[in-house]
Amino acid sequence: MRVFDTNWMQIEEYLEHDDRIVLPTGSTEQHGYLSLGTDAILAERVAVEAAEPLGVPVLPALPFGMAPYFAAYPGSMSLRLSTYAEVYRDLLDGLAAQGFRRIAIVNGHGGNAPVTGFLKEWLSVPREPKVQVLFHSWYNAPKTAEVASKFDPDQMHGAWVENFPWTRLPGVEMPSEPSPMVARELISALSAQEIREIAPDGVMGGPYARGDDEMQAVWDAGVAEVRELIEHGWPR
C-alpha cells in the first residue's frame, strides 16, 4: 500500500502488528527519449506491486540521486554523496524512531550504489531493538537480470531495458535502429560534457525498444524478486 493512500493513524495501527516498510529510491536524469523520472517511476511501481499483497507500506520514491555524469543533459539533477548520505540518515533515523525495524530500500538507479557504504556505517551503531536495512537494486538483481538476458545481453542506460509503457512519453517516437554502444567504463571516466558528445541522445547503446510481452516478462521477474526480498530477505 502506498503511504500516500493512508493517514498517520492507519500507519500507527499497522505498526502494532508489522514493522516493515519500503523506501523506493531513484533519480531525476536523462533517459534518452524516456521520462526524466524513469528510475524513480520504476522503483516506486515495482515496490508497490511487490508489497501490495503483503500489506507492507511503500513510501513515495526519493526522486533525486547521484548522477553527475549526466549533468550536461538539461533536467538531470544530482546530489553530492555527502548530501545523499545525510538524506538517508534523516529518513532512516525517523523511521527507526517511529518503530520501523525492517526497512527495504528498493533502488532504481545505479549511481546510488555508493550509499551502501554509508548504510553499513549506520547499521554499525547499536540500536535496541535492532533495525535491519536491505538495499536492493531491482533492475539488475539476479533473477530479473537473468530474464532480461534471455532477450538481449546488452542492457544499457536509456535503451530497451528501461522502456516500459509507464516510462514512455506520449507523442515521442524513437529511432528504429539500435544506438551505437558506449563502453560502460567511459561513463565513469569522462566528464558530463564528454558523455553528451559521445551519446548525443543520451542512450548508451543497443535497441531502443523491445516487444511489450518481453518487457512484461522482465517486469514480472522484478516484482517477484522484490516481493521475495520483502517477505523473506531479512537476516535472522
Burial class of residue 158 in the structure, from the number of CB atoms within 10 Å of its CB (0-12 exposed, 13-18 middle, 19+ buried): buried
Q: What is the pTM of this model?
A: 0.97
What single-letter amino acid sits at 50?
A
Contact partners, residue 179, CB within 8 Å, separation at least 6: 32, 156, 159, 199, 201, 203, 204, 205, 206, 208
| Helix, coil or strand: residue 226 | helix
Walk along the chain (236 residues) and give the pLDDT tens digit of each residue: 999 999 999 999 999 999 999 999 999 999 999 999 999 999 999 999 999 999 999 999 999 999 999 999 999 999 999 999 999 999 999 999 999 999 999 999 999 999 999 999 999 999 999 999 999 999 999 999 999 999 999 999 999 999 999 999 999 999 999 999 998 888 888 999 999 999 999 999 999 999 999 999 999 999 999 999 999 999 87
In the chain, where the domains are located:
3-232
CATH of 3-232, one of 3.40.50.10310, 2.40.50.140, 2.40.40.20, 3.40.50.720: 3.40.50.10310
